[in-house]
Amino acid sequence: MGAPRTGIIAAGHERAADAAAVVLEAGGNAFDAVIAAGFASSVCEPGFTSLAGGGFLLARTAAGTDTLFDFFVDTPGRGLPADAMEPVFEEVRVSFAAAEQVFHCGPGSVAVPGVLAGYLHVHRRLGRLPLADLVAPAVELARAGVEVSATQAADFALLAPILARTPASRAIFFPEGQLVGVGDTVRNPDLAGFLEALAADPSCTFYEGDGAERLVAQLAAGGGLITREDLGAYRVIERDPLRFRYRDRTLLTNPPPTFGGALLALALHRMEADGASHPAGSPEHALRLAATMAGVDRDRAAGHPEVLAALRGDLGDDPAARPQVNRGTTHVTIADAEGNVAAMTTSNGECSGDVIDGTGIACNNMLGEDDLHPDGFHAAPAGVRVASMMSPTFVLDPEGAVELALGSGGSKRIRSALLQVLTATVDQGVPLQDAVLAPRQHWDEDHLEVEPGFAPAVLAALEQHHRVNLWPATSMYFGGVHAVAPGSAGAGDPRRGGAVRVVEATT
């Protein structure tokens, strides 16, 4: 199969997609473009991602090399005595549509960040253009301002108590005393200045030197646990992707010690083992999806040997013992005209409400959610890579070319969103955008969460076999799948601000 003749971008915001397109048009490759989109997303999707968050990038080079870049967060506290590890949190109550949830924020919730290190590492390894070219769109957005989208406004409204925690955060999100909403402009001149300094000298980060000293001192003053040793020891990890067969395709995804890719692989394996596929949108297909989702969740909770084997992978450890983080995320997928493909998912949790002094960079709160730490806060030793449900994924056709690249935000709904898009496209040949737009379901402990839009017969079948919570409208709760079929099509998920750009090859 020849190289694609166009570059295609699917991202979670119009301006992030624009940033990637500018870089492709300037002669950058997919990896330059995905990094540019990531920097831009830190400005235009601040409810989902930050340079002080964590993430993963699945990369296929035009030469056929596949790498999973793991730049997720580490647990902090290297060099601290055991009696200094008691967390200092501020509890913030967040009101969702049907319930309230308490989140733990503040400096004690901040894990060792990986996103900035990841972008710089991938640029050194696979990028082509100067770093200044990749940060330029983000600098312009941060200085001139970006209009708040409906997706970001909804997220800001949920996170308002956290975003209001500190004066630095209020200056960004409450510039005139009121939370910004749809159509308002968010400006972040400090972030623009930080990025310009980074472009001039890539060592001007918060991992070393004065930047590290300031970050450690700022967080320690409020009970944070990140040390100079944590920042100096942080490393991006290059892993072999998890590779498995599904029908006549090969899939590549995020390997252990993360959870999401292995659980997605197990769900697809069980779907295939059940026999012939049923038409997407049929009662039979919906029931099989529900049974598979429920079965994987049930068996994971019970420690089923098949699940433990999937989670163990080839690393010999048990990722179930690792702290896990699943929250607010965004995703970018890019295929260029040369055959390079990148799928990148990043997250900042709900953010801690802290902003690194002088940088405009919001800190994560990856360590502050009690439902993710059943053994207690900071029970894991310092320096452990936190596990995640993020699952950037490639589908390879029978000849080994990337047929589809995709990923999603959405916490535990990531794998159910990907499962539904993959079974629709691979099993039934449903057009990519139709598969992304189709209504979704998600098994949540003991019942089904269901979007509107299913045919009455499908909904009746689901209700006959399961307790169903039918949502009044589509929602970002059900993920945001941004996908690309290289050289053919892109699909942006409107649940999370999806945007697609096509860049024609110049030669």
Burial of 77 (0-12, 13-18, 19+ CB in 10 A): buried
Quote the tokens at residue 271. Answer: 């779907």
Per the annotation, the verdict on 329 as an active-site residue is yes
Please confirm whether the linkage preceding 398 is cis (ω < 30° from 0). no
Q: For residues 252, 254, 260 and 262, what is the CA-based torsion angle, rounded to 10 degrees?
A: 60
Angle at 482 (CA atoms; ends 73, 54), nearest 5 degrees: 5
Bridge partner residues of 102 (DSSP): 93
The DSSP element (H or E) to which 297 belongs, if any, is helix 283-302
Looking at 67, 329, 333, 393, which residue is catalytic? 329
Quote the tokens at residue 36. Answer: 């540019």
Quote the tokens at residue 485. Answer: 């079929």
The DSSP element (H or E) to which 103 belongs, if any, is strand 100-105
- Strands ordered across the beta sheet of 441-444: 441-444, 447-450, 468-470
CB 316: neighbour CB atoms within 10 A?
7
| Interatomic CA distance for residues 448 and 167, integer angstroms | 41
C-beta of residue 423 within 8 angstroms of C-beta of residue 429: no
Which amino acids are annotated catalytic?
329
